[in-house]
């Protein structure tokens, strides 16, 4: 697609949303990389990952390859990372894991003259007891992850006539060190030697089930319109609650910006907010309104409290072009670059949705360009509607043909 000095325009594809965006309808020319999200880890070293709809996965790989887009298999995710710690706990188990991935998804495919894929390792929370409750974790998780990736890179490099992308998707705070704190002082520099890219997922900062107030899903900057700190959101992400801060932390931990990809969400979070608390003293929608956690979480097209941009258009919360219709109250927070809409309830709380619109996406694209990052990654492709978001962020980075 001609990304100028930028190299990555990456989509995540969730097979559960195939009805909204069939593989045949992906606008491949707008993406350089595409991840099938996600294969879950298992406790069986001979079969360490399980793919949701493997037939669809290989259809995805073939479609991406034929359209000159690099296909990746995302491994892990929030709940799918349950067995990562065990799989990489020793040199032998990590080597078995690496050999299994390299053989099944690359070496055997090449031997049969078939398309193969790269890998996106989505172990977001090594050595983090606050992650998914069933995830195993250990003090040496991050060190073991690096040893595993070095082994996997070695396995891939030995396969003739292949060039395999090896990437990782990671949280806003760098992976934890042995003390259980985010890594600092270039201690993750070794990862830059084996990974092509690290996608920093700087979103899910405020949400209906973990925050006392409403707030931005994916703030661009850690700044607040009233000059004060944001309210507590009961989230481990709080100290790293912006793209700007996350990038600074990852570079300080040893990953150079030219290997960092900014993860951006095509969905927002919906909160139950009483009509009397939805606006600030000036009469504008309040970004940090009281979140009524005693009320049912508002419904969403992806999950309770989770509304995709596409779903907001389909539900009439947004017009077809992404603008706010006359019957909906909207606002835009310049500080965090967050869009808001609010619908009054009938006899109870209304619903406030904090999300990224085209304006927010364009601002994130400009940020990627300013920081000279590798590019951006949209989670996920099915959340866009009519190319509104991908076109906006492509414009922000200065991509041709956006």
Same domain flag for 257 and 309:
no
In this predicted structure, what is the pLDDT of residue 254?
Answer: 98
The pLDDT confidence band at residue 402, using thresholds 50, 70 and 90, is: very low
The model's pTM is: 0.94
Same domain flag for 190 and 301:
no
- Cis preceding linkage at 390, omega within 30: no
Candidate from 36-50, 220-234, 316-330 with smallest mean pLDDT = 220-234
Same domain flag for 290 and 277:
yes
In this predicted structure, what is the pLDDT of residue 232?
Answer: 55
DSSP letters, 14-78, are -GGGTTTS-GGG--GGG-SEEEEEEEEE-S-TTS-EE-TTHHHHHHHHHHHHHTT-EEEEEEE-T
* Average pLDDT taken over every residue of the chain: 92
Higher pLDDT, 196 or 229: 196
**Residue 221 within any structural domain of the chain:** no
**Residue 228 within any structural domain of the chain:** no
Same domain flag for 88 and 113:
yes
The pLDDT confidence band at residue 399, using thresholds 50, 70 and 90, is: confident
In this predicted structure, what is the pLDDT of residue 230?
Answer: 56
Distance, in Å, from the CA atom of 238 to the CA atom of 173, rounded to the nearest integer, reads 10
Average pLDDT rounded to a whole number, residues 179-207: 96
Same domain flag for 287 and 329:
yes
Average pLDDT rounded to a whole number, residues 32-43: 96
In this predicted structure, what is the pLDDT of residue 6?
Answer: 62
Helix (H, G, I), strand (E, B) or coil at 132: coil
Same domain flag for 286 and 254:
no
Q: What is the pLDDT of residues 298-353, one digit of tens each?
A: 999 999 999 999 999 999 999 999 999 999 999 999 989 999 999 988 677 999 99
The pLDDT confidence band at residue 233, using thresholds 50, 70 and 90, is: low
Percent of the chain beyond pLDDT 90?
83
Whole-angstrom CA distances from 201 to 104, 196, 299, 308 are 28, 16, 24, 16
Same domain flag for 186 and 96:
yes
**Residue 173 within any structural domain of the chain:** yes
Angle at the Cα of 36 from the Cα atoms of 56 and 339, rounded to 5 degrees: 125
Average pLDDT rounded to a whole number, residues 256-263: 97
Whole-angstrom CA distances from 130 to 55, 81, 212, 238, 399 are 34, 13, 18, 13, 38
In this predicted structure, what is the pLDDT of residue 245?
Answer: 92
**Residue 237 within any structural domain of the chain:** no
Domain total for the chain? 2
Q: What is the pLDDT of residues 62-99, one digit of tens each?
A: 999 999 999 999 999 988 999 999 999 999 999 999 99
Distance, in Å, from the CA atom of 369 to the CA atom of 26, rounded to the nearest integer, reads 25
**Residue 312 within any structural domain of the chain:** yes
Q: Are strands 49-50 and 70-76 parallel, antiparallel or unpaired?
A: unpaired
Q: Is the dihedral of CA 86, 171, 214, 245 positive or negative?
A: positive
In this predicted structure, what is the pLDDT of residue 388?
Answer: 97
| CA nearest to 289, candidates 341, 348, 214 | 214
The pLDDT confidence band at residue 2, using thresholds 50, 70 and 90, is: very low
- The H or E element containing residue 332 is strand 329-333
Q: Would residue 343 be called left, alpha or beta, if left means φ above 0 and alpha means ψ between -120 and 50 degrees?
A: beta
Residue 133, pLDDT > 90, answer no
Candidate from 2-11, 22-31, 50-59, 389-398 with smallest mean pLDDT = 2-11
Same domain flag for 101 and 133:
yes
Same domain flag for 139 and 58:
yes
Distance, in Å, from the CA atom of 54 to the CA atom of 180, rounded to the nearest integer, reads 35
Q: What is the pLDDT of residues 284-306, one digit of tens each?
A: 999 999 999 999 999 999 999 99
Same domain flag for 350 and 368:
no
Q: What are the residues whose beta carbons fall under 8 Å from the beta carbon of 317, sequence distance 6 or more?
A: 307, 325, 328, 341, 343, 353
**Residue 129 within any structural domain of the chain:** yes
Same domain flag for 338 and 390:
no
Going by the DSSP 8-state scheme, the letter that residue 307 receives in this structure is: E
Residue 239, pLDDT > 90, answer no
Average pLDDT rounded to a whole number, residues 247-259: 97
From the CA atom positions of the chain, what is the Rg in Å? 21
What backbone torsions phi and psi does residue 237 show, to the nearest 5 degrees? -80, -15
Q: What is the CATH number of the domain that holds 136?
A: 3.20.20.80
In this predicted structure, what is the pLDDT of residue 275?
Answer: 84
Average pLDDT rounded to a whole number, residues 19-30: 97
The pLDDT confidence band at residue 356, using thresholds 50, 70 and 90, is: very high
In this predicted structure, what is the pLDDT of residue 348?
Answer: 78
Average pLDDT rounded to a whole number, residues 252-263: 98
The pLDDT confidence band at residue 226, using thresholds 50, 70 and 90, is: very low
**Residue 300 within any structural domain of the chain:** yes
In this predicted structure, what is the pLDDT of residue 227?
Answer: 43
Report the range out of 133-137, 347-351, 353-357 with the highest average pLDDT.
353-357
Residue 237, pLDDT > 60, answer no
Range of the domain at 193: 8-202+242-265+356-397
Same domain flag for 248 and 326:
no
**Residue 318 within any structural domain of the chain:** yes
């Amino acid at each position: 697609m001609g990304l100028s000095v930028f190299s990555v325009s990456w989509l995540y594809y969730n097979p559960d949303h195939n009805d909204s965006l069939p593989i045949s309808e992906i606008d491949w020319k707008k993406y350089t990389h595409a991840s099938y999200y996600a294969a879950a880890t298992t406790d069986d070293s001979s079969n360490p990952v399980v793919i949701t709809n493997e037939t669809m996965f290989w259809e995805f790989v073939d479609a991406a390859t034929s359209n000159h887009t690099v296909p990746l298999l995302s491994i892990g995710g929030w709940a799918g990372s349950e067995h990562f710690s065990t799989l990489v706990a020793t040199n032998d188990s990590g080597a078995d894991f690496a050999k299994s991935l390299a053989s099944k998804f690359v070496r055997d495919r090449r031997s049969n003259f078939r398309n193969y894929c790269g890998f996106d390792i989505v172990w977001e929370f090594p050595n983090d007891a606050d992650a998914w409750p069933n995830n195993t974790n250990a003090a040496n998780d991050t060190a073991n992850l690096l040893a595993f990736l070095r082994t996997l890179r070695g396995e891939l490099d030995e396969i003739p006539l292949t060039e395999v992308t090896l990437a990782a998707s990671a949280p806003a705070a760098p992976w934890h060190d042995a003390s259980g704190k985010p890594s600092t002082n270039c201690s993750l520099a070794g990862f830059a030697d084996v990974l092509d890219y690290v996608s920093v997922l700087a979103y899910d900062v405020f949400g209906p089930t973990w925050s006392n107030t409403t707030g931005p899903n994916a703030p661009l900057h850690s700044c607040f319109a009233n000059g004060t700190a944001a309210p507590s959101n009961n989230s481990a992400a709080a100290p790293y609650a912006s793209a700007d801060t996350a990038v600074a932390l990852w570079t300080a931990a040893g990953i150079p910006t030219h290997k960092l990809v900014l993860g951006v969400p095509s969905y927002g979070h919906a909160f139950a907010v009483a009509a009397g608390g939805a606006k600030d003293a000036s009469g504008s929608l309040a970004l940090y309104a009281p979140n009524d956690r005693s009320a049912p979480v508002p419904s969403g097209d992806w999950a309770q409290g989770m509304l995709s941009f596409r779903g907001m258009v389909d539900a009439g919360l947004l017009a077809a072009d992404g603008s706010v219709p006359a019957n909906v109250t909207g606002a835009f927070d310049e500080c965090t670059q967050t869009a808001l809409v609010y619908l009054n309830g009938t006899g109870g709380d209304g619903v406030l949705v904090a999300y990224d619109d085209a304006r927010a996406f364009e601002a994130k694209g400009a940020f990627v360009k300013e920081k000279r990052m590798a590019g951006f990654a949209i989670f996920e492709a099915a959340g866009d509607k009519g190319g509104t978001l991908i076109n906006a962020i492509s414009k922000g980075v200065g991509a041709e043909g956006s």
